[in-house]
């Protein structure tokens, strides 16, 4: 319509200009006649121009306008396709974006497909790199944790060694003190030994003097004994003489008796002689008795001097042994004093060395503690790096490509396999898929109202760790779950953020995709819980 109005306006403008020009020209020439030919000529020219415009310009313009309209319509359609393709691209669905780009002109489609492939490759590389980063960060975390633990132990050991060395130094100082005291004691013992040796030497001298005197006494006693024996011999002689005298006096008395009266006076003399002999004998007997006592005393003296000599010899021997022992003791005390002084010196040196080692060990402990702190920071950084890697991985997973690593692609393949099957068949197929995929904890299907239809656990991943029974899971309102809400709202495959699995308690995330019925309507949501650790290891 706008084009038609533009055409009419053109015609009216041209006609108006021609009419105005002719009217002005006719007015200028002032009526008919020969002088009016310019007006005629102008009129004829104007008509001719109008005719030419109608034939040449207006028809072409109309054709152009028609082509323009068709072009605009095609452009709008292409814009729509392009917007849809970019819409898929914006949602990360590279696959559908590529499919939609096929409807675009060949050049654009080619460029779009190339861009999609580049983006897909980029997403895969980001995913791979993020996994490597996360794995490396885990490795760094583990190693730095071990190193931190090791260095903590090292620091603790260094502290223990320091304490032990301090104790050792303390003990060495005590030993040095004890050794010094022992050296003093040994010197004192040495001095006492010298005094003892002098005393023993004096005692030996005294005993030797006693022995000499005892020997002198013994010699004199022997001499006395000899003299006593001589006296015995003299006494025997006197006894013999007295007995002879006694017999002589008896025989004289007998002879006097035989002489009768004449012999009476002689008998008296003989009796006097006999009495004298008897008194001599009695005196000899008493002298003998005294001499016996004297000889007994001399014998006792000799025995006593012999015993005394023997005792003195024993005392002398013991005193000499004591002198030798004291001499040995003095030597030993001297050696002990030297050894104790050396021990004292050595332990003082040891204490100094221990102090140096303790100082060094304290420095080492400080360094190790700083290193432990640094390693802890490194471990924390590695943990953050690992989390960052996993986040990047999840971001990379928002792209839906035909890569086998694309979880969106995987779950949509699952949804295609489950399409059109009955509940039992769906349960069997889903269980087979879950058991065949090592990083899936659970696969489940909820209907459009959020009620659980099928729930399959991974036997390998869950085993005995199942926290939630299927019956319990049925009580959960799936409509309130983030994955269900996202899919129901967007009607396209989506990923959740990381969360702790209700079943295993480990980190996981959910990938969910809408299920469409035969008519293309929304019939439910298929979801799978991806165990992060297993996924990282598998990827």
Partner 1 sequence: MSGRHLLVRAGTTVCALPVAAVRRVLRPLPLHPLPGAGPALRGLAEYAGEPLPVLDLARLLAAPPGGAAPCPVTVVAWAGEGAARELVGLAADAALAVVAELPDGVEPFDLTALAGGRA
> How many CB atoms within 10 Å of residue 355?
15
Which residues contact partner 1 (rule: CB under 8 A)?
Answer: 243, 246-247, 250-251, 253-254, 257-258, 267, 270-271, 274
Nearest distance from residue 324's CB to partner 1, in Å? Answer: 59
Between 281 and 297, CB nearer to partner 1: 281
CA distances to 89, 90, 96, 386 from 84, rounded to whole Å, are 8, 9, 9, 36
Per the CB < 8 A criterion, the answer to whether 207 and 347 are in contact is: no
Nearest distance from residue 320's CB to partner 1, in Å? Answer: 53
Nearest distance from residue 229's CB to partner 1, in Å? Answer: 20
Q: Which residues pair with 495 in a beta bridge?
A: 511
Between 156 and 268, CB nearer to partner 1: 268
Closest Cα to residue 396, out of 21, 73, 87, 126? 126
Both tokens of 81, joined, read 């396709």
Closest Cα to residue 523, out of 513, 512, 515, 531? 515
Nearest distance from residue 250's CB to partner 1, in Å? Answer: 5
Q: Which residues pair with 525 in a beta bridge?
A: 446, 514
Work out the angle at residue 93's Cα, subtended by the Cα atoms of residues 87 and 96, and round it to the nearest 5 degrees. Answer: 80
Listed in sequence order, the DSSP H helices in 398-456 are: 407-418, 423-436
Between 39 and 267, CB nearer to partner 1: 267
Work out the angle at residue 186's Cα, subtended by the Cα atoms of residues 181 and 191, and round it to the nearest 5 degrees. Answer: 125
Between 244 and 380, CB nearer to partner 1: 244
**Residue 325 per-residue DSSP state:** H
Closest Cα to residue 506, out of 477, 463, 476, 446? 463
State whether residue 452 is helix, strand or coil: strand
Tell me the C-alpha distance between 24 and 113, whole Å.
67
Nearest distance from residue 201's CB to partner 1, in Å? Answer: 58
Write the burial class of residue 126 (CB in 10 Å: 0-12 exposed, 13-18 middle, 19+ buried).
middle
**Residue 92 per-residue DSSP state:** T
Between 246 and 408, CB nearer to partner 1: 246
Nearest distance from residue 258's CB to partner 1, in Å? Answer: 7
Between 94 and 270, CB nearer to partner 1: 270
Nearest distance from residue 245's CB to partner 1, in Å? Answer: 12
Between 124 and 271, CB nearer to partner 1: 271
Nearest distance from residue 267's CB to partner 1, in Å? Answer: 7
Between 279 and 366, CB nearer to partner 1: 279
**Burial track 300-320 (b if 16+ CB lie within 10 A, e otherwise):** ebbeebeebbeebeebbeebe
**Residue 386 per-residue DSSP state:** H
Nearest distance from residue 228's CB to partner 1, in Å? Answer: 20
Per the CB < 8 A criterion, the answer to whether 405 and 439 are in contact is: no
Nearest distance from residue 223's CB to partner 1, in Å? Answer: 30
């Amino acid at each position: 319509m706008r084009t038609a109005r533009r055409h009419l306006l053109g015609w009216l403008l041209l006609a108006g200009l021609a009419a105005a020009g002719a009217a002005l020209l006719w007015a200028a020439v002032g009526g008919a006649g020969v002088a009016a030919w310019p007006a005629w000529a102008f009129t004829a020219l104007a008509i001719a121009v109008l005719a030419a415009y109608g034939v040449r310009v207006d028809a072409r313009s109309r054709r152009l306008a028609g082509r323009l309209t068709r072009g605009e319509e095609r452009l709008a359609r292409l814009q729509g396709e392009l917007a849809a393709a970019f819409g898929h691209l914006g949602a990360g669905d590279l696959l559908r974006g590529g499919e939609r780009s096929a409807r675009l002109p060949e050049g654009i489609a080619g460029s779009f497909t190339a861009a999609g492939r580049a983006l897909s490759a980029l997403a895969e590389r980001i995913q791979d790199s993020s996994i490597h980063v996360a794995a490396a960060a885990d490795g760094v975390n583990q190693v730095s944790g071990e190193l931190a633990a090791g260095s903590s132990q090292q620091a603790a050991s260094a502290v223990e060694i320091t304490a032990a060395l301090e104790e050792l130094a303390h003990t060495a100082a005590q030993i040095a003190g004890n050794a010094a005291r022992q050296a003093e004691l040994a010197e004192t013992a040495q001095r006492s030994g010298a005094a003892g040796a002098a005393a023993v030497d004096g005692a030996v001298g005294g005993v030797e003097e006693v022995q000499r005197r005892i020997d002198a006494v013994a010699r004199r006693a022997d001499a006395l004994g000899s003299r006593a024996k001589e006296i015995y011999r003299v006494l025997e002689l006197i006894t013999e003489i007295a007995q002879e005298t006694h017999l002589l006096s008896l025989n004289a008395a007998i002879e006097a008796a035989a002489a009768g009266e004449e012999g009476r006076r002689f008998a008296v003399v003989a009796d006097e002689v006999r009495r004298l002999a008897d008194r001599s004998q009695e005196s000899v007997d008493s002298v003998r008795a005294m001499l016996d006592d004297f000889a007994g005393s001399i014998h006792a003296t000799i025995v006593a001097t012999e015993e005394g000599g023997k005792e003195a010899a024993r005392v002398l021997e013991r005193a000499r042994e004591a002198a030798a022992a004291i001499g040995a003791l003095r030597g030993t005390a001297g050696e002990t004093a030297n050894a104790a002084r050396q021990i004292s010196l050595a332990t003082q040196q040891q204490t100094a060395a221990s102090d140096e080692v303790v100082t060094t060990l304290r420095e080492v402990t400080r360094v190790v503690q700083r290193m432990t702190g640094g390693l802890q920071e490194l471990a924390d950084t590695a943990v953050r790096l690992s989390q960052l890697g996993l986040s990047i991985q999840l971001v990379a997973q928002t792209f839906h490509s035909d890569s086998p690593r694309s979880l969106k692609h995987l779950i949509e393949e699952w949804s295609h396999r489950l399409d059109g099957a009955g509940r039992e068949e769906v349960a069997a197929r889903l269980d087979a898929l879950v058991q065949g995929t090592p990083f899936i904890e659970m696969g489940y299907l909820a209907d459009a109202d959020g009620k659980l239809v099928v729930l399959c656990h991974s036997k390998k991943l869950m085993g005995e760790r199942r926290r939630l029974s299927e019956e319990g899971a049925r009580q959960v309102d799936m409509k309130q779950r983030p994955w269900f809400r996202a899919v129901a709202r967007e009607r396209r495959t989506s990923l959740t953020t990381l969360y702790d699995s209700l079943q295993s308690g480990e980190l996981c995330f959910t990938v969910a995709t809408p299920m469409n019925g035969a008519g293309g309507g929304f019939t439910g949501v298929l979801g799978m819980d991806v165990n992060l650790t297993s996924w990282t290891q598998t990827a």
